[in-house]
Amino acid sequence: MTKTTTAGQRKGVLGEITNFSAAAVNLKRKVVHPVVQVQADVDPHPAVSEDPADVSMKEEQEPFQAFSEVLLSVEDVDEHDTDVLHLCSQYVKEIYNYLHFLEKQQSVQANYMQGYEITERMRAILVDWLIQVHSKFQLLQETLYLTVAIVDRFLQVQKVSSRKLQLVGVAAMQVACKYEETYCPEVGDFTYITDNAFTKSQIVEMEWEILRSLKFQLGCPLSLHFLRRASKVAKCDATSHTLAKYLMELTLIDYNMVHYRPSEIAAASLCLTQLLFDGLPWSSTQQHYSTYDEVHLKPIMQHIAKNVVMVNEGKSKFMTVKNKFSSSKLMRISLIPQLKSPIIKNMAAAALNNL
C-alpha cells in the first residue's frame, strides 16, 4: 500500500496555533471588516449592471460589516502579523468573510435523507469507517473533513442505494485526497481497503459522478479552517485546541448536526472547551470574529455534549474518534475528567430533551 505523507510533512497540533506576545494583548483598536467596492470616481465609463453573484456576495457580507460596527472597540488580532506572509494579515478578514459566504452557499439541509433507502445509522457506520481509513492512510486532517462534506453534499442531491454507499465514501475520499494531499493513495489502495468490494473502474466512475453532481465545486469551507482562526483569536494553548478538535470530530458522525455550518461547529466546540477548562464565557472579541454569540452557540454545544456522553457511557458503537484521541500523540484528550463533568451531563440532557 502506498504511504501518503510523512509525519514531517503534516501539521502538528502545536503548529496550528500562532502564539502572540503578552504586549499584543493590551493593544486594541477599532476593527471594521471592509467590503471591497468599486468607487464611482475611479472608472469614468458608464456604470454597468452588477453580476448577480457579486450582488449576492455583497448581501451576504453586509451582516458581517454591520456586526463589526456594533462593537466600538475590539482587538485587532492580525495587526502584528504583517511580517508573517502566510498569515495574510492584510486581507485575512476578507478571506473569512468569503468563507462564511461559501458555507451558506454550500449548506447541507437537515434530514436530507428522508425518504432514502440509506439511513442515519448507515451514514454513521460509513463515517466511522472513513475515519479509520483516514488514520490508516495517515492523511491530512483537512482530507477527512472534506471527505465527509463531499459525502453529505453529494447524497443531498443524488439518491444512492445502500450497496453503493461505501463506494460513495471511498470515491469521496479519493476526490478529497486529490484536492488536499501532496501524495495521494492510489485507486488500488481503496479497492484493497474495501476488500475488493469495488473495482478501480467503479471507483473512478463514482468520482466522475460526484464531481459532476457538485459541479466541481470543491473549495468547501471546513470547520478546521474556522477553528484555527477561533483558536488564534482566543490565544488557545495546544490542549484547548486539541480538545476542541476532538469535540468537532465527534460531530462528523452525528447526522442530526449536518445542517450546522462549519463555522458554528468550530465556535461551539471552542466555546464548550473554554467552559470545561476555565469556565470562561464567550468574549466580545470572540463574538466579533466568529459572528456568533453564546446564546446562538448553546444548542450546538448541547448536541456536542450529547455526543460526548454517548461515547463515554458506551451508548454509541462508534468509538473510533474517542479511541483516536486517546493516544499520547493527541494528549489522551478524550480521557480527561472534564468530559465527565456536570457541564457536559447537563447540556447532554438538554439536547436529549429537545430531540
283, 351 in Cβ contact below 8 A? no
Is the pLDDT at 57 greater than 60? The verdict is: no
The span from the first CA to the last CA of the chain, in angstroms, equals 43
Residue 336 clears pLDDT 80, i.e. is over it: yes
Residue 353's pLDDT is: 83
Look at the pTM and tell me if it is higher than 0.85. no
The total of other beta-carbon atoms located within 10 Å of residue 114's CB is 7
In this predicted structure, the answer to whether residue 45 has a pLDDT above a threshold of 50 is: no
What is the overall mean pLDDT for the chain? 84
Which pLDDT belongs to residue 124?
A: 97
Asked if residue 41 has pLDDT above 80, the reply is no
pLDDT band at 42 (very low <50, low <70, confident <90, very high): very low
> Could you tell me the three cell numbers for 121?
445509522
Phi, psi dihedrals of residue 322, rounded to the nearest 5°: -60, -45
Top pLDDT among 52 and 39 is at 52
Helices and strands counted in the chain (H then E): 15, 0
CA–CA gap between residue 260 and residue 299 (Å, rounded): 11
C-alpha distances out from residue 284 to 25, 52, 68, Å: 14, 34, 11
Q: Which residue has the higher pLDDT, 61 or 210?
A: 210
Q: Which domains does the chain have, with CATH numbers?
A: 110-213 (1.10.472.10), 223-354 (1.10.472.10)
Write the pLDDT tens digit of every residue in 8-38.
Answer: 444 433 344 333 333 333 333 333 333 333 3
Q: What share of the chain is helix, strand, coil (3-state, %, to 5)?
A: 60, 0, 40
Handedness of CA 278, 281, 286, 292 (dihedral sign): positive
Convert the pLDDT of each residue in 105-132 to its tens digit. Answer: 999 999 999 989 999 999 999 999 999 9
pLDDT score for 227: 97
pLDDT digits (tens, 9 = 90+) for 128-183: 999 999 999 999 999 999 999 999 999 999 999 999 999 999 999 999 999 999 99
Helix (H) or strand (E) holding 271: helix 262-277
